[in-house]
Structure 1
Amino acid sequence: AVYESVRYGLEPSALEILDANTLRASNRQHNLGLRETPTLFVEFHGPKAGVEDQLAYLKQICDDNHCQGYDVSFEAERRDELWRARSEARDSIKFAHPGKAMISGDVCVPISRFGEVVEYTQEVSADIGLPIYAFGHAGDGNIHTEVIADRSIPGELERAVAGSDAVVRRALDVGGTIAGEHGIGVAKAEFMAAEHGPALALMRQIKAVIDPKNIMNPGKIFLPS
């Protein structure tokens, strides 16, 4: 549905996704009363007639893709309630798992492969035996993940990191990028060569020219040579 919405020229002002786990946490935190299945939050702006036309096309796309529900509201209060739940998704997940570690991920994939990668997060969850939450900016293929781990259980944190890394590798496999909007830092440095290949050496050279003493955020982005 995400891919076809873009391919057919719909122009949503926002196109976001919460997977079933994230929506369940948001329901608990915000009492949304929504069906706990993967859900798109879509917003259109413009004259009412134009918005209604786009909504009709969206409804057809949803029907063609066997979506389980479709709800429209022009009420500002309901809109604000839903977008607050989306913006606070990570907080809702955190409240659902007090005291647990959250291993955050942030990949971006071609929109044509978006649904596939979101589904893959639950395959990984089953493989590692830990909850994974997926949500993000469906309109540009950006998927945020949170893998939940109990630090007090030996090996669980390592399994969570491995699960997060598996999603990164799948993003690369489908032609995506290891970081949609939150940067590389330390955690994703090991994937830079896989994504950028020979260009990584050029990046190192540029860094050396503008920061010859390596005092600007040392240890980030590049693994030690």
Structure 2
Amino acid sequence: MQIRSMLDLFISIDEMYDYLKDKDITFDENGLPIFTKDMFLDEWPEMVVPYSQRKNWRIINPAKTVLCFFGRDKNLYPRIGKVLDEIEEYSLFMGVIGMDVTVTSDMDEEWQEAIILLNHLFLAVLAVNGIKILLNTRTGGLDPDVIFKNTPHGVMVAAGFLGCDTTADECDYSFMKKILVLLPEKLILYGKHDKIAERQLDILGIDFRTYTDFHRLCKEVPYVRQ
């Protein structure tokens, strides 16, 4: 279906619930899917690219490439309504980072909860179809203890730093709080280098790698097609 309104988003949530009810997955008391460790990718990819660039000629090896959804919401909505139609597309790649429909701390809490639910259900649909997943650490203003309680420790997760302020206060540990809740084995940072966050991750001993966003990568590392 085409998503043009808030109502369409809630219809998509209901449709994904209906689909997942017949699959090997359970839900917590808040309706969030419960993930198992075997669902997650456990190897570093060579590239991380947006879904919209999945057919770009620069992608030499899809089996070593992870797809992401760090970008504008208008480009993400069509993927939600077509997730089942595009399973075969996702299966060509190494793994997929969770949906990233915008949720921020200044939004109504109920709306934040709905968006987080939407993002996690999308990821669950991929997982039950054998697509290796990476959890997206986006939580808006919600408590990460609640949002991530269904995610096993020691898996691979990802955070999008595209367009983020990388000059934040060194005493801001909000991102680190999420990481301490998740305790990931590997962490992908997509976008600009955030020296403060990276220094905090080093102190915690978190194994992370930063992947330049695809648009900037194409400018910084020219590639001549043979």
Q: TM-score, normalised by structure 2?
A: 0.33
Query: What is the TM-score when the length of structure 1 is the normalising length?
Result: 0.33
Higher helix share: 1
Larger Rg: 1
